[in-house]
């Protein structure tokens, strides 16, 4: 019996993390904060904050206490532009413009790309050495030549750079780029591009990223892969959404968003 229990526990440890319960159907009449637990995320947008920098929406504004369905933040007006609920299925729409010299948009000065992207705020960082650090997302890519849909971002190091970025291309390929040095492109380093799968544009799929026990894993539709890494970082955080790497406008629809850190879960409602 002990051997059976040990084998069962070992099997569970290898399986992707999914929410502990089946998520309720998304409500097309709710704002995003009513369908998803956004109380642990801040949203970076391509909207001017009045000083030429991206407007950042706080977790408190996204979730609006217990009234995120009615009062959670989304784009103003009837024709929402960047962040809102899809009226047909309740998914969370995240759009971002492409960037070029002829097609500028509001972006951070340290980046060449624009985004509508979440970053974790609770916790603001976590140690990669911890037992559990997991991100689970279900989405549909609607358009965009090359969109970063998820990140592991360094915290606490001298580099304000990604540790790994998950890219989704309009030919369906899903690839994760792992930084080969802390400073990334600033230090002349390329990312090690490691393929994870192929999913046709317009098709729903899941991805999972784990960074725990100092081991980085990622996978598409539950097929997890252990990834080669090149350095350590004292802390990290997840980013999720639409960090548009192309010059064309991009759109993704989020259907599930869940994190887990050492047994504490943040799941969709």
Per the CB < 8 A criterion, the answer to whether 95 and 116 are in contact is: yes
Stated as kind and residue range, the H or E segment containing 156 is none
pLDDT in tens, the chain (269 residues): 444 444 434 444 444 444 433 456 999 999 999 999 999 999 999 999 999 999 999 999 999 988 999 999 999 866 789 999 999 999 999 999 998 888 889 998 888 899 999 999 999 999 999 999 999 999 999 999 999 999 999 999 888 899 999 999 999 999 999 999 999 888 889 999 999 999 999 999 999 999 999 999 999 999 999 999 999 999 999 999 999 999 999 999 999 999 999 977 775 44
Q: Which fold has domain 25-262?
A: Jelly Rolls (2.60.120)
The sign one gets for the Cα dihedral 253, 150, 22, 37 is negative
Residue ranges per structural domain of the chain: 25-262
Residue 144, preceding bond cis, omega within 30 degrees? no
pLDDT for 24 equals: 63
Per the CB < 8 A criterion, the answer to whether 181 and 198 are in contact is: no
E strand spans, 58-203: 83-85, 92-96, 114-120, 133-143, 146-155, 162-169, 173-179, 191-198
Return the bridge partners of 208, or none.
136, 219
- pTM confidence score: 0.89
């Amino acid at each position: 019996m002990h051997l059976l229990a040990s084998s069962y526990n070992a099997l569970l440890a290898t399986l992707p993390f999914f929410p502990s319960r089946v998520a309720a159907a998304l409500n097309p009449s709710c704002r995003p904060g009513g369908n998803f637990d956004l109380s642990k995320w801040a949203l970076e947008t391509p909207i001017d904050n009045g000083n030429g920098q991206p407007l950042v929406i706080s977790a408190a504004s996204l979730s609006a206490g217990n009234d995120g369905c009615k009062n959670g933040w989304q784009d103003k007006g009837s024709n929402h532009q960047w962040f809102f609920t899809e009226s047909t299925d309740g998914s969370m729409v995240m759009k971002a413009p492409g960037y070029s010299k002829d097609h500028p948009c509001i972006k951070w000065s340290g980046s060449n790309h624009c985004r509508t992207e979440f970053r974790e705020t609770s916790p603001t960082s976590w140690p990669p050495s911890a037992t559990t650090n997991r991100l689970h997302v279900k989405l549909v890519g609607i358009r965009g030549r090359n969109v970063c849909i998820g990140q592991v971002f360094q915290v606490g190091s001298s580099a304000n750079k990604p540790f790994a970025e998950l890219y989704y291309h309009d030919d369906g390929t899903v690839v994760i780029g792992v930084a080969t040095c802390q400073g990334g492109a600033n230090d002349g380093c390329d990312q090690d591009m490691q393929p994870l799968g192929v999913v046709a544009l317009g098709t729903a799929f899941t991805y999972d990223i784990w960074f725990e026990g100092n081991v980085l894993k990622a996978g598409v539709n539950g097929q997890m892969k252990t990834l080669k890494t090149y350095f350590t970082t004292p802390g990290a955080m997840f980013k999720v959404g639409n960090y548009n790497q192309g010059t064309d406008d991009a759109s993704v629809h989020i259907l599930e968003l869940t994190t887990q850190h050492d047994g504490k879960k943040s799941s969709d409602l």
